[in-house]
Structure formats: C-alpha cells, structure tokens
Amino acid sequence: MKPPAQALRRAALTLALTGAAALSVTAASAATGSPAAPRPATPACHTSQLRVWIGLPGDGAAGSVFYELQLSNVSSATCSLFGFPGVSAITSGGHQLGKAAGRDHSFPATTQVLAPGVTAHAVLRITDPGAIGCPTATASGLKVFPPNTTTAAIVPFRFLTCTGANRNLTIRVVRHGAGIPGYSQ
C-alpha cells in the first residue's frame, strides 16, 4: 500500500526545514567563531616535571659566551612554559652571587607546550667580568626558576661571575626545541 502523496510532501517538507535549521545553527556558530567545545589550556610546568640543564659547549662572541639553558619535560604529563626563567649564579652553599640575570627582550614570549620527553630552551648570555671591570667570584652553579614557578632547580656549572652591583648574566624567553650552541636564538 502506497502512502498518500500529501503525506509524502509533508514528510519531505519537515525534513527540509529540519535540515535548514541545523545548517542555520552551524553557520551561525561558524560565523561567530565559537567552537563547539572549548579546549582547556595546557597547565604550566612545575619544576618537579622538568630537568633543567645547560648545553655545552657555549658559543663565544665579543666578550660574552652564550649557553643553551635546556628545560626538558621528564614527567608523564604535557605542560607549558611561557616567558623568562629566573637565573642567578650561586656558591656551592646555594648563596646568590651578584645580580640575577637581566631579561633580553629580543623575541616575544610565546607559549611552549612540552609533551613528555620534549625540551625547550632559553639562551643565557654570560658576559666576561673582565669586560665589565667588576669584582668577581667563581660560581658553582646556576639557580634556575622555570617561568612562572617559585621552586628553583640547581644546575652545576662553574664559571667566573660578577659580584656586587654589576650584572653579567642575561636570559632570553623560553623558545621551542632543544637549543643548539651557535644556532639557536
């Protein structure tokens, strides 16, 4: 038995109107740029999730040596870094020598998402204290606060540094990938 023609037309019209309404909602959502479901932001890396180390050798130029300060995600969770690490020279007892590293704004800060096993870097410049004419001491390491953290990592590293009011350390923002001496920026 065939359905009456009028019933078929009503069913077709209902389907057409339902489809048009669905397309209208989808088009309105696309036009406003509203995603269907917002994605949560990647949480910031905690110092405990990172291994902080320095890439050797450094790359020397005009009274300074540039080192790649590496931050590797050694946890099982993805996390993110944004901005500048805090860096200072320290004694073997952990006391700060001289001023903390100044910030080099050569590059804008961008969020670096680190999946487990991924490394980001920040270029650390150490100016020769002799070029500055400052009182000196031999540092035993670096105290490094990953961006937006309050817990430091200690990186063993001996170098001559300024003490007192002079600053001979400069740090850049964290950038994507492991740093390669002489190539990274």
Residues ≥6 apart with Cβ < 8 Å to 94:
143, 154
Architecture per CATH, 47-176: Sandwich (2.60)
pTM of the model: 0.77
Other C-beta atoms closer than 10 Å to the C-beta of 51 total 14
Q: What is the pLDDT along the chain (185 residues), one digit of tens a residue?
A: 455 545 444 444 443 434 443 334 334 434 444 444 455 699 999 999 999 999 999 998 889 999 999 999 999 999 999 999 999 999 999 999 999 999 999 999 999 999 999 999 999 999 999 999 999 999 999 999 999 999 999 999 999 999 988 999 999 999 999 988 777 76
HSE value, Cβ hemisphere, 13 Å, CA-based, for 174? 25
11 is written with which tokens? 């069913």
149 is written with which tokens? 């953290």
> Counting beta carbons within 10 angstroms of the beta carbon of residue 100, is it exposed (0 to 12), middle (13 to 18) or buried (19 or more)?
middle
Radius of gyration of the chain (CA): 28
Bridge partners of residue 156, in order along the sequence: 141
